[in-house]
Amino acid sequence: MEAASCFEAHEVDLHGHRAVYRVAGSGPTVVLIHGMINSSRHWEVVAQRLAATHRVVAPDLIGHGDSATPRGDYSLGAHAASIRDLLTTIGIERATIVGHSLGGGVAMQFFYQFPQRTERLVLISSGGLGHEVSPLLRGAALPGASPLLRLVAQRRLVDAIDDAGGRLRARGSSKGVYLEAIARALRPLQDPGSRRAFLQTLRAVIDVHGQHVSARDRLYLLGEMATLIVWGGRDRTIPIEHGREAEEAIPRCRFETLPRAAHFPHLEDPEGLATVLADFLATTAPVRIDDSDWAAVIAQRAKSRLRAVA
């Protein structure tokens, strides 16, 4: 499919709203789910690498990128259901699900809601694995943050932050990477609809105290799932310890660190991330979970807890 090989955008109508996704390559399907204020565009280098052996689908989450920004439900479950509906619309039954940051939380929620559709799970600097998160995100979740976001997202200020970051990075300063990341995050917030969607999405998972949505009590459900966790070695947004602790709780889990990357490995070290993903896909078999298997997993956990109480 020539258009797909170029990672071009496609559009479908989901429940009366525009949903945009990008496709590259052919073969078994890999779904790449971006994080907060990112979009499918940010996966381009990784997608092109994986497209040699896989069909890569990268959606714009509702409220992000080129998708619609309606008033509505921006919870992890709602995002996961929208991805399920998108995949159904374009004829994809099962896939390897990859999520970055907020997208990691969405990916886990997708697995929990639709295990029959999940063949592997990859979490990249993922949310939902611990309480701690950067003060910047906690502050953005405060009531009354919208006027401040509108002020700091002005084009002139964002351009100045981006330029300063580029100059610092050219001098070898690690602070340049973080300034560029801040500019990249602020730029989409110039649009009122995107700003509203960002705040609704953020407050669904984070408050002033940190992340208030956790998947740690359900990691046991990943017992038979081939799982990969990847973290940027310089991540200051979500601690790498969250990933290390999750690795210990998931039986069939690999853990990889990308020393050159901070919180955005797909942008800061896309070649390194693509290499790790390609190896994981090549050396693991897709998992197929049926309803009877899922019932057995939950029942086994319930029995072990009853024995512990007894």
The residue annotated as part of the active site, out of 39, 101, 126, 194, is 101
Tokens matching residue 208: 């002033």
Side-chain-side CA neighbours of residue 91 (13 Å): 1
Q: Tell me, what's the pLDDT at 188? A: 72
Question: Given this model, what pLDDT does residue 300 score?
Answer: 67
Predicted confidence band at 126 (pLDDT cuts at 50, 70, 90)? very high
Alpha helix (H) residue ranges in the chain = 2-5, 44-50, 76-89, 102-113, 135-140, 145-152, 155-170, 175-186, 192-203, 240-249, 265-268, 270-283, 291-309
List pLDDT tens digits, range 205-232.
988 888 888 899 899 999 889 999 999 9
Count of the separate structural domains present in the chain = 2
The answer on 198 and 124 residing in a single domain is no
* Residues 138 and 126 placed together within one structural domain of the fold: no
Which pTM does this prediction carry? 0.87
pLDDT at 299 over 70: yes
Determine the Cα–Cα distance for residues 265 and 215; give it in Å rounded to an integer: 22
pLDDT at 297: 78
Q: Once rounded to an integer, what is the mean pLDDT over residues 271-276?
A: 98
Q: How confident is the model at residue 4 (pLDDT cuts 50, 70, 90)?
A: very low
Q: CA 310, CA 69: separation in Å to the nearest integer?
A: 51
| Same domain assignment for residues 157 and 20 | no
Domain end point (choices 210, 235, 256): 210
Q: pLDDT by residue (tens digit) across 94-103?
A: 999 999 999 9
Q: What is the pLDDT of residue 1?
A: 37
Domain that holds residue 286: 2-130+214-309
> Can you give the pLDDT at residue 6?
80
CATH of the domain at 64: 3.40.50.1820
The partner residues of 19 in beta bridges, in order of sequence, read 12
Mean pLDDT of 28-50: 95
CA-CA distance, 199 to 302, in Å (whole number)? Answer: 37
Based on the fold, state whether residues 206 and 91 are members of the same structural domain. Answer: no
State the Cα–Cα distance between residues 174 and 22, nearest whole angstrom: 31
**Average of per-residue pLDDT across 36-44:** 91
DSSP assignment of 196-222 equals HHHHHHHHTTEETTEE----GGGGGGG
121 shares a domain with 66: yes
List C-alpha distances in Å: 294 to 95, 286, 301, 304, 310: 17, 16, 11, 16, 25
pLDDT of residue 249 exceeding 60, the answer is: yes
222 shares a domain with 119 = yes
* Residue 262, both tokens: 């901070």
Residues 229 and 109 occupy one common structural domain: yes
End residue of a domain, out of 185, 210, 235: 210
Q: Which of residues 145, 180, 210 is at a domain's end?
A: 210
**3-state DSSP call for residue 250?**
coil
Contacts of 224 (CB under 8 A, 6+ apart): 252, 287, 289, 293, 297
* Active-site position among 194, 263, 266, 269: 263
Given the residues 235, 242, 266, 269, select the one marked as catalytic.
235
Q: Are residues 10 and 106 in the same domain?
A: yes
Q: Do 113 and 227 fall within a single domain?
A: yes
> Is 235 among the residues known to form the active site?
yes
Section 231-252 average pLDDT: 94
User: Does residue 151 carry a pLDDT above 80?
Assistant: no
Residues 120 and 228 in one domain: yes
203 plus 222 within the same structural domain:
no
How far is it, in rounded angstroms, from Cα 295 to Cα 3?
A: 41
Mean pLDDT of the chain: 88
Question: Is the pLDDT confidence value at 109 over 50?
Answer: yes
Same domain, 124 and 268: yes
